Structure 1
Amino acid sequence: MFIHCQNTGDASGSALRDRSHIENMLEVATEPSTEVSGAIKKLLNIYHKAIKPMEDAFKYNELRQHEVTDGEITSKPMVLFLGPWSVGKSSMINYLLGLHGTSQELYTGAEPTTSEYTVIMHGDKFRTIEGIVMAADSSRSFSPLEKFGQGFLERFVGIEMSHKLLERVTFVDTPGIIENRKQQERGYPYNEVCQWFIDRADLIFLVFDPTKLDVGGELEMLFRQMKGRESQIRLILNKADSLSTQDLMRVYGALFWSMAPLINVTEPPRVYVSSFWPFDYAVDTSRDLFMKEEISLLEDLNQVIENQIENKIAFIRQHAIRVRIHALLVDRYLQTYHEKLGWFGDPHEVFQDIVNDPDKYYIFKSILAKTNVSKFDLPDKEAYQDFFGVNPVSHFKQLSQHCSWSGGCLLEKIERAISHELPSLLSGVGKNSDPAAPAKCEETPKNRWRRQ
């Protein structure tokens, strides 16, 4: 049964809005591009030949805790829905997919209804998949979620359905934030799970109800976790037709007042003000404004979908830069260790001194002298105290020893990927489009959503 308390009137008697503009704007009828699949295959090849060997040799995943899998590289763009309970996250997904009144409709209601992380994705037929199955399937991008334990996997579910839009994008619905309460025992590390999805989202819709703009501890923590991902955040002031225009203006200002201390950026995230559900707007409300806002949001979403391959290439290149810097740092620690050890030094004491005070041995400053290394990309020095605490120095070989006559050197491979192969792949995207297609005179919009 469909339950929604967006308006005071009876929703069952309201007319349904025409949603053909959604189908048109998101190009739902368009077949997935063969160019995208070809570029993904090339990207996988570069990753496995030039980047992953360096990851494995220097145990990068134990430093960053962000394992890149084949499933993540080949996955569709991910749109993450976050926000307090009963703000309309599930209703918005139902509206975008046209699920209202069908057996596939996500349950919605006035009370907290989504207690699971729900991944809505494309499949040949409608079915639900248990979290334990999702995490065990290495072909998907969710296998790293096993580390959060059985308590989380019991609250993780996948829904597959045959839908044209889901051939281009994946939606993730999340449990609502519940403020003004004591710490709730969720049974799994909620903040860490949120961070995992935030790190992998191409677009984050942070949804609010204009009648309840509570900003409490969980929401503040969520914004701290999204630091550095501000370009992916969109604020949604949903259920906007439940207020008069004057009240809506007050709420809009209050939203910015509440969010300003939490988002420390020069340009605040874009705010969309509308009512994202299938029923017609309430009478005597700003219908034209709401429709324009909805169209802008759809354009925003379509831009992210269209830029999926550019985003993935940029993300893998940034990942490769971090892996290279990590390898250079470990190599520098090793060089310094061998130089200072001498004949009679205590190996443990010598290396511990280097790890505890790397500035004394110019470990990080020496790396900045290397080509294409920014001080803003350097990891925290404290991270290497933990890293070497579980990975003894004897587990590593210096970079000069990771070379062979047949395979070349790991450092040369990853530098070639960063400087030539990945930029070349990026510049080639879009150049193989249909030559018969008419040229467009419009200025190509800047890709504001590329991962940095």
Structure 2
Amino acid sequence: MLRDRSHIEDTLRLATAEPSAEFSAAMKKLLNIYHTAIKPMEQAYKYNELRQHEVTDGEITSKPMVLFLGPWSVGKSSMINYLLGLHSTSQELYTGAEPTTSEYTVIMHGEKFRSIEGIVMAADSSRSFSPLEKFGQGFLERLVGIEMPHKLLERVTFVDTPGIIENRKQQERGYPYNEVCQWFIDRADLIFLVFDPTKLDVGGELEMLFKQMKGRESQIRLILNKADSLTNQDLMRVYGALFWSMAPLINVTEPPRVYVSSFWPLDYAADTSRELFMKEESSLLEDLNQVIENQIENKIAFIRQHGIRVRIHALLVDRYLQTYYDKMGWFSDPYEVFQDIVNDPDKYYIFKSILAKTNVSKFDLPNKEAYQDFFGVNPVSSFKQLSSHCSWSGGCLLEKIEKAISHELPALLSSIGKASGAPPPAKAAQATPPPLPGTCEGPGCEEKPKNRWRRQ
């Protein structure tokens, strides 16, 4: 028998699908701040060549991305089919007991169902996938986009990845697997790491993935799938074994959240913990909804963090230039002087002077070696000092980016918070739907957060 899916639409609030005026206005203002205050500094000091990460409008306006990782045949594709209600339809992702997904499959919203080649996706500048071209044609042939009309896909994008196969060398994949995974991990708002009770072994590829997810532990969710295939006693043992396997890889005080259930459309097996599984599923859906709900806040935080890095880079380049001009004499060789500064910046207090004179954290400073490569490609003559980037009409680039970081972006975030705290308008009395399994309703329960993305 198939499971009832009504709780998915109720939890994710998919009844309507129009962005609120507040959401659209905040996104428009965020784009304006980026283009007027941050991007000019980016271009003036060639920040993209330092980080190899170009922020595009498509990335800023893109929907939250949910990334599915894990060994082969653990139920990643089946879970996406279940969330989207694709079981037994022509749009269903192919699943099987053998390794079936060999491509990176991006499932996104579209007016009609269609498949898009990776080369076409990378060539479309309006999407956020154009930077994937740097991984070569071998990877683009393994990238597939699927568009379909769906209420949930208007709010979020799913990425299904090839399964981790520990007995295969990375070189046999034909593309830089770890670098591609890193690209998706850096842009994912939520990472579902799916496991099968029979596939808890940890090998080189999985260990490398955890190293790549360092610093993003708050976005990782472990999923013990196919839980109804075990007895309650065996399930407890497997749950403990999962933590035992993951503990050396997740070096944080608070372990990531683990969801235990069977995320597929068929009903739970008999004589299993049905009530527990339904509560776990409801918790996962609430977690997913929270990420969707916080989309605009996460975008503002991302742009502010990016702005801070661009500002630090500009200050460092300016300091390199100032030191270069101070050390140049009448008979000095410009190349030798600058190479000495780049090769030994500590001798000239390049980084220490930035920490002493500006409100920059030492933990945000880039590696010194990165500037040896940066100036090796970009000659010092291609840059001007910060004081030269000022005009009567446009002001100074440094003042603009500092104003954006210190005032404009926090003010935008604060305005969204105040708007979300406003009491909702009175509504006509409606019939109250029955409570979902595992949810709390009544005088002692707090009201669920309103969804600002939608008109209430």
TM-score for the superposition, normalised by structure 2: 0.91
Once structures 1 and 2 are overlaid, which stretch shifts more, 27-36 or 291-300? Answer: 27-36
Contact 2:282–2:437 (CA under 8 A) maintained in structure 1: no
> CA-to-partner distance for each residue in 1:247-278, whole Å, 9 max, x for gaps?
11111111111111111111111111110000
Contact 1:310–1:450 (CA under 8 A) maintained in structure 2: no
> CA-to-partner distance for each residue in 1:292-318, whole Å, 9 max, x for gaps?
111110010000000000000000000
Q: Give the superposition deviation at 1:328.
A: 0.3
Once structures 1 and 2 are overlaid, which stretch shifts more, 381-390 or 25-34? Answer: 25-34
Cα distance change, pair 157–338 in 1 and its aligned pair in 2 (3 A)? same
Once structures 1 and 2 are overlaid, which stretch shifts more, 133-142 or 371-380? Answer: 371-380
Q: Give the superposition deviation at 1:182.
A: 3.7
Contact 1:202–1:449 (CA under 8 A) maintained in structure 2: no
Cα distance change, pair 218–17 in 1 and its aligned pair in 2 (3 A)? same
Q: Distance in 1 between matches of 2:319 and 2:247?
A: 42
Q: Distance in 1 between matches of 2:438 and 2:250?
A: 40
Q: Distance in 2 between matches of 1:274 and 1:83?
A: 16
Once structures 1 and 2 are overlaid, which stretch shifts more, 34-43 or 203-212? Answer: 34-43
Contact 2:293–2:452 (CA under 8 A) maintained in structure 1: no
Cα distance change, pair 264–437 in 1 and its aligned pair in 2 (3 A)? closer
Structure 1 residue matching 2:357: 3-state secondary structure: coil
Q: Distance in 2 between matches of 1:86 and 1:327?
A: 47
> CA-to-partner distance for each residue in 1:400-438, whole Å, 9 max, x for gaps?
1111111111100000000111011111115446x9999
Once structures 1 and 2 are overlaid, which stretch shifts more, 363-372 or 213-222? Answer: 363-372
Cα distance change, pair 436–109 in 1 and its aligned pair in 2 (3 A)? closer
Once structures 1 and 2 are overlaid, which stretch shifts more, 177-186 or 36-45? Answer: 177-186
Q: Give the superposition deviation at 1:389.
A: 1.3
Q: Give the superposition deviation at 1:371.
A: 3.9
Q: Distance in 1 between matches of 2:59 and 2:320?
A: 31
Contact 1:82–1:173 (CA under 8 A) maintained in structure 2: yes
Query: What residue number does 2:206 align with?
Result: 219
Q: Distance in 2 between matches of 1:444 and 1:97?
A: 23
Cα distance change, pair 414–392 in 1 and its aligned pair in 2 (3 A)? same
Correspondence 1:78-157 to 2 at 5 A = 78-157=65-144
Q: Give the superposition deviation at 1:445.
A: 8.1
Q: Give the superposition deviation at 1:443.
A: 8.4
> CA-to-partner distance for each residue in 1:99-136, whole Å, 9 max, x for gaps?
00111100000111111111101111111111111111
Cα distance change, pair 256–76 in 1 and its aligned pair in 2 (3 A)? same
Contact 1:152–1:188 (CA under 8 A) maintained in structure 2: yes
Q: Distance in 2 between matches of 1:405 and 1:451?
A: 43
Q: Give the superposition deviation at 1:61.
A: 0.8
> CA-to-partner distance for each residue in 1:78-114, whole Å, 9 max, x for gaps?
0000111100000000000010011110000011111
Q: Distance in 1 between matches of 2:126 and 2:437?
A: 38
Structure 1 residue matching 2:147: 3-state secondary structure: strand
Contact 1:315–1:451 (CA under 8 A) maintained in structure 2: no
> CA-to-partner distance for each residue in 1:347-403, whole Å, 9 max, x for gaps?
111111111111111111111124431111111111111111111111111111111
| Ranges in structure 2 where 5+ consecutive residues have no aligned partner | 421-433, 441-445
Contact 1:399–1:410 (CA under 8 A) maintained in structure 2: yes
Q: Distance in 2 between matches of 1:427 and 1:48?
A: 21
Structure 2 residue matching 1:272: 3-state secondary structure: strand
| Ranges in structure 1 where 5+ consecutive residues have no aligned partner | 1-15
Q: Distance in 1 between matches of 2:279 and 2:116?
A: 37
Q: Give the superposition deviation at 1:342.
A: 1.4
Query: What residue number does 2:14 align with?
Result: 28
Q: Distance in 1 between matches of 2:13 and 2:319?
A: 51
Contact 1:313–1:426 (CA under 8 A) maintained in structure 2: yes
Contact 2:19–2:455 (CA under 8 A) maintained in structure 1: no
Query: What residue number does 2:454 align with?
Result: 450
Contact 1:28–1:164 (CA under 8 A) maintained in structure 2: yes
Q: Give the superposition deviation at 1:32.
A: 2.6
Structure 2 residue matching 1:81: 3-state secondary structure: strand
Contact 1:80–1:201 (CA under 8 A) maintained in structure 2: yes
> CA-to-partner distance for each residue in 1:136-155, whole Å, 9 max, x for gaps?
11111111111111111111
Cα distance change, pair 59–81 in 1 and its aligned pair in 2 (3 A)? same
Q: Distance in 2 between matches of 1:448 and 1:409?
A: 36
Cα distance change, pair 404–450 in 1 and its aligned pair in 2 (3 A)? farther
Matched, 1:387 2:374: yes
Q: Give the superposition deviation at 1:449.
A: 17
Q: Distance in 2 between matches of 1:216 and 1:439?
A: 36
Q: Distance in 2 between matches of 1:384 and 1:451?
A: 48
Q: Distance in 2 between matches of 1:438 and 1:40?
A: 35
Q: Distance in 1 between matches of 2:87 and 2:189?
A: 26
Contact 1:119–1:157 (CA under 8 A) maintained in structure 2: yes
Q: Distance in 1 between matches of 2:406 and 2:438?
A: 31
Contact 1:179–1:214 (CA under 8 A) maintained in structure 2: no
Structure 2 residue matching 1:430: 3-state secondary structure: helix
Cα distance change, pair 439–219 in 1 and its aligned pair in 2 (3 A)? closer
Contact 2:20–2:455 (CA under 8 A) maintained in structure 1: no
Structure 1 residue matching 2:116: 3-state secondary structure: strand
Q: Distance in 2 between matches of 1:48 and 1:391?
A: 23
Q: Distance in 2 between matches of 1:346 and 1:182?
A: 49
Once structures 1 and 2 are overlaid, which stretch shifts more, 351-360 or 407-416? Answer: 351-360
* Root mean square deviation of aligned Cα: 4.0
Contact 1:209–1:239 (CA under 8 A) maintained in structure 2: yes
Contact 1:71–1:140 (CA under 8 A) maintained in structure 2: yes
Runs of 4+ in structure 1 displaced over 6 angstroms?
Answer: 435-441, 443-452
Contact 2:8–2:285 (CA under 8 A) maintained in structure 1: yes
Q: Give the superposition deviation at 1:180.
A: 2.4
Structure 2 residue matching 1:364: 3-state secondary structure: helix
Q: Give the superposition deviation at 1:450.
A: 20
Once structures 1 and 2 are overlaid, which stretch shifts more, 184-193 or 45-54? Answer: 184-193
Structure 2 residue matching 1:206: 3-state secondary structure: strand
Q: Give the superposition deviation at 1:204.
A: 0.4
Q: Give the superposition deviation at 1:33.
A: 2.4
Cα distance change, pair 225–436 in 1 and its aligned pair in 2 (3 A)? closer
Q: Give the superposition deviation at 1:446.
A: 14
Contact 1:314–1:450 (CA under 8 A) maintained in structure 2: no
Contact 2:275–2:437 (CA under 8 A) maintained in structure 1: no
The structure 1 residue matched to 2:4, chosen from 10, 18, 38, is 18
Query: What residue number does 1:13 align with?
Result: none
> CA-to-partner distance for each residue in 1:53-74, whole Å, 9 max, x for gaps?
1011111111111111000001
Once structures 1 and 2 are overlaid, which stretch shifts more, 182-191 or 287-296? Answer: 182-191
